[in-house]
Structure 1
């Protein structure tokens, strides 16, 4: 665990962001538009964290303890009061304490979780990576056919099939598993354990 701590704005959502994941967001609440503006002005990320209790709108929700930094890669406001974003997942973090601002925005003092070291290539890694490549190719091909140049791939470049953590994180995003299970996978410190869980799931559902 890194000794470095910092305060960041939080965006509690009913979703889970993983490192290097791409997430489109539609921001319409004034408090979060203000948050995004501040992040853009200061060239800083905000934290996306799954809601443990409460709602996305209104009174500040109670967040889970582990989330992921969100770096803004694209933004647009085609309609007044509605901000469209694409964010990319950065480092995972653990919340040490939170505070609620006057506008019901959440801020948290966090400790970043070190990036996962590369694991040795295993049969499970190769199997998961091969199946993931087929999924990425199919989704990107269909997307380009339907949307042409406006298509934005849900998979960040470069594709890192040789990175077990990257491969596993992409499966964690696209598999039809409950949000609670997705959150538990995000919290696992051992990338190899996450890979083994995903590989077992893919085998049970005859995907690999």
Structure 2
């Protein structure tokens, strides 16, 4: 499967919402093509280099499909789009096109079935509810309710202020329970750092 890539300083998770401003010609063309064909593009996190200009030197080999749900002309004249995370994928091979757009051969990752929330998830469910009240989070209109462990893990991994490297690692974990455990470990580390 061939997928155009959009390297960003962000990690997108399935079911999560991301607002983007598009101003580079290569991405305006890409978005136009995606919308005409009703297809998505791939968001990968930049590990070396910058978002603007040339292709970044390094980017994560795991990413998330982005599906355009809304678009509008911004006050500053730029195109604003809202995407929702679709399927996770692994980059098999990537090539830079003439217009500097990255095109990748990707392998889709298996999404495990949604498992019901457990008693031990209650603290994390409460944390998600608290995050939902934050104005920046509320503006995303993600409809923050965890339908199960997978959606809880995706939303927390996306919204919590973890380092990009940690988020990439979380995106790689297939099992929702394992991902929730990893999120709890990162939260414990953050708390430890605050108390230190």
User: What's the counterpart of residue 129 of structure 1?
Assistant: 125
The alpha-carbon deviation at position 19 of structure 1 amounts to 0.5
The whole-number CA distance in structure 1 between the counterparts of 2:157 and 2:100 is 30
Cα shift readout 1:174-203 (whole Å, capped 9, x = no counterpart): 222211111111111222111012234445
Q: Does 1:183 align with 2:162?
A: no
Structure 1 unaligned segments of length 5 or more: list them: 1-5, 144-150
Q: CA deviation at 1:76?
A: 1.1
Whether the 8 Å CA contact 2:4–2:102 is kept in 1: the answer is yes
Q: Is the 8 A contact 2:91 2:105 kept in 1?
A: yes
- Partners of 1:29 and 1:86 lie apart in 2 by 17
Q: Which moved more, 1:53-62 or 1:95-104?
A: 53-62
Instruction: Tell me which residue corresponds to 1:23.
Output: 18
- Structure 2 distance, partners of 1:108, 1:42, is 17
> 1:51-94 deviations in whole A, cap 9, x for unaligned?
12222122212321100000001101245861101100001001
Contact 1:21–1:155 (Cα < 8 Å) also in 2: no
- Report how far residue 161 of structure 1 moved: 1.9
1:28 CA drift (Å): 0.5
Which residue number corresponds to residue 139 of structure 2? 153
The alignment's TM-score, normalised by the length of structure 2, stands at 0.87
Question: In the TM superposition, what is the alpha-carbon distance from 1:105 to its structure 2 partner?
Answer: 0.5
Number of matched pairs: 190
Which runs of structure 2 are paired with 1:1-208 in the superposition (5 Å)? 6-61=1-56, 62-78=58-74, 82-136=78-132, 138-139=133-134, 142=135, 153-157=139-143, 159-202=144-187, 205=191
TM-score calculated relative to the size of structure 1 = 0.82
Contact 1:133 1:161 in 2 (8 A): no
- Give the whole-Å Cα distance in 1 for the aligned partners of 2:148 and 2:165: 25
Q: Which runs of 5+ in 2 are unaligned?
A: none
User: Are the aligned partners of 2:116 and 2:147 in contact in 1 as well (CA < 8 Å)?
Assistant: no
